[in-house]
Structure 1
Amino acid sequence: MADVVPVTIVREIRECGFDEAWLQDYIWDNPSCLAACFRVDGLEGVMKERSQEGGGRLDLLLKDPDDETMYEVEVTLDETNADHIIRTIEYWDRERRKWPKRKHIAVLVAESITARFFNVIHLMSWAIPIVAVQANIVEANGQKSLNFTRVLDTYEEPEEPGDRENPEVVWRRDHPEVVELAETLLDVVRPVVGPSRLKFLGGYLYIGLWKHGSPYFWFRKSKGAELRLWLHDQFLNKGADILKKAGMAYKPAPETKKDNRSFLVDVDKPTIESKAEAFRALAELVKSSYQRYHDAEDK
């Protein structure tokens, strides 16, 4: 008989009788609860409610004891808005000026990141080391557990100025097989997504529209032939059905949130060419997913 896996229910933190101050205290008392979100062994608290020049207080300042990386953490249970993002980045910038020889990462811990501001953080994270972490309470068999999930982290540490090369040159020289995959995929999906191009970054290569530059499909340098694509929850089941019917192996990316998900798909050139219709169908869904966010931004 197959093992029975308990069904979990996601609860709002306030619904369970806790508030923002409780969440902040919990992280301060147990800083390593966020360690898995940053792929480190452990974290230590440096300061809580740290006063900032010019006003305001940084909720939490944490550090990795192994390499002294510092994490400027803002905590909110309110729906994410522009003030939360701006404050997170401002505090990060002030702390990195005080500790210029250390690596700094801005962290926004929130229960809900709205569609509009998820996209804003996503765009900023290509240039600023900002990580979004979703906090919620999960209940299974009557037992409640606090859960943290990294929902966004696309930043790649820049190379030293003296060692910089054109990213496209580096990709074509060091990873020609991945570039060939991306070019093959671009040819397949261009009739669906419209005028588009390959965008080469330090750690990423993606297909995006000329207008917005949104990463419709992308490859990560460290993952080789692993294709990533993002879908809004409205199209999640349709995307999974397309992949299943095409016989393509896939899995959810670790960065997830309740209204979107990235899929990871192992691909090669013959797969892309032989399953072109499936990739064009996925492109329609990805395009519609991003359109929802751009429409939200314009309102």
Structure 2
Amino acid sequence: MNSYVKPERILLKSNREYSEKWVQDRIADDPNILGLGDLVLRDRERIRPRAGRLDLLLQDSETKRRYEVELQLGATDEAHIIRTIEYWDIERKRYPQYEHCAVLVAEDITSRFLNVVSLFNGTVPIIAVQMQAFKVGEHLTLVFTKVLDELTRGLVDEDEDAEAVPTDRSYWEQIKGTKETVAMADNALEIVREFDPSLELKYNKFYIGLARNGQPNNFITFRPKKGHMTLEIKLKKSEEIDAKIDNAGLDKLEYDARWEKYRIRIGRGDVKKHSDVLKELVGLAFEYRNG
């Protein structure tokens, strides 16, 4: 039987052996230790004129989403909050082709900090991660815990303003798509109804969703275009699902990490041709949303 070793909490701020650069090195070597997904290092100590240095710039390996990371040993303070938001603002303006999220990593995330940042959340996408160092025997380990996540906004069709702007089938057939591409949504709905016969198409201004008794249930959404339809399936990204889609020969678009959606381009005859794998994906999404 292995012996038990009680971990000892170490405050890096007051420990001369470890510095902020040491922590920066650890994250740069393996950005995934932050627990924010499959991230890669884009840059470190990036100099910003009149704004100091951005500690770390990380990017999701699958999407165009970047994380501007500010490190702090000890407790959070106003200066680091301002710098974190400032770096995020500079990067998003300079590189608007990417999605951006501000990240503050500190040893002590105070309640005052959480109260202040909550005022920005929803306007500024910001994440707070508390870092704890533990000594286990002769080794030191770092534990990162997300204590504040960015605010997740509701889907468009669940918003009151969107509900106040009704659309119908003719809007999608004549303006956004065609009768043929909207019919693709009908064909996909037949698969969806195998899991819940009460579901109906719900025509919104920005996409066609699903509804049960008038209430949105958007684990599947449709975006008919003039020449094809984009099918969106709400599922967490995984290698297994990627393999299912790729092996079936479906036209997979870039994964929407913010809304956790697989996006598939559907052409003429694709729903019938790939009905087996689509049924499997719809079933997984139905369980994920309603299970």
- Selected match of 2:73 from 74, 77, 100: 77
Contact 1:122–1:154 under 8 Å retained in 2: no
Contact 1:58–1:73 under 8 Å retained in 2: yes
1:51 correspondence with 2:50:
no
Per the alignment, residue 151 of structure 2 pairs with 155
Q: Could you say which structure has the larger radius of gyration?
A: 2
Which 4+ residue blocks in structure 1 deviate beyond 4 angstroms? 3-6, 157-160, 167-170, 222-225
Q: How does 1:138-217 map to 2 (within 5 A)?
A: 138-157=134-153, 165-166=159-160, 173-174=215-216
DSSP-derived class of the 2:123 partner? coil
Cα distance change on mapping 1:168 and 1:129 into 2, 3 Å: same
Per the alignment, residue 31 of structure 2 pairs with 31
Deviation at 1:31, TM superposition (A): 1.9
Cα distance change on mapping 1:167 and 1:83 into 2, 3 Å: farther
Which runs of 5 or more structure 2 residues have no equivalent in the other structure? 164-210, 218-258, 260-287
Contact 2:122–2:153 under 8 Å retained in 1: no
CA distance in structure 2 between the partners assigned to 1:106 and 1:135 by the alignment: 16
Per the alignment, residue 295 of structure 1 pairs with none
1:61 correspondence with 2:54:
no
CA distance in structure 1 between the partners assigned to 2:290 and 2:8 by the alignment: 35
Contact 1:92–1:105 under 8 Å retained in 2: yes
Contact 2:10–2:133 under 8 Å retained in 1: yes
Deviation track 1:163-216 (CA, whole Å, cap 9, x = no partner) reads: 67318979x9348xxxxxxxxxxxxxxxxxxxxxxxxxxx9xxxxxxxxxxxxx
1:129 correspondence with 2:128:
no
1:114 correspondence with 2:110:
yes
Deviation track 1:50-92 (CA, whole Å, cap 9, x = no partner) reads: 1224332111111011112100000111421111111101110
Letter in structure 2 aligned against 1:11: I
Cα distance change on mapping 1:23 and 1:31 into 2, 3 Å: same
Per the alignment, residue 104 of structure 1 pairs with 100
CA distance in structure 2 between the partners assigned to 1:106 and 1:158 by the alignment: 20
Cα distance change on mapping 1:6 and 1:78 into 2, 3 Å: closer
Per the alignment, residue 22 of structure 1 pairs with 22
CA distance in structure 2 between the partners assigned to 1:75 and 1:60 by the alignment: 8
Deviation track 1:118-157 (CA, whole Å, cap 9, x = no partner) reads: 2212332233210011112123345321111111104115
Deviation at 1:5, TM superposition (A): 6.2
Per the alignment, residue 184 of structure 2 pairs with none
Letter in structure 2 aligned against 1:64: D
* TM-score, with length taken from structure 1: 0.50
CA distance in structure 2 between the partners assigned to 1:99 and 1:224 by the alignment: 37
CA RMSD of aligned residues (A): 3.3
**Higher-helix-fraction structure:** 1
* TM-score, with length taken from structure 2: 0.51
Cα distance change on mapping 1:65 and 1:111 into 2, 3 Å: same
Letter in structure 2 aligned against 1:46: R
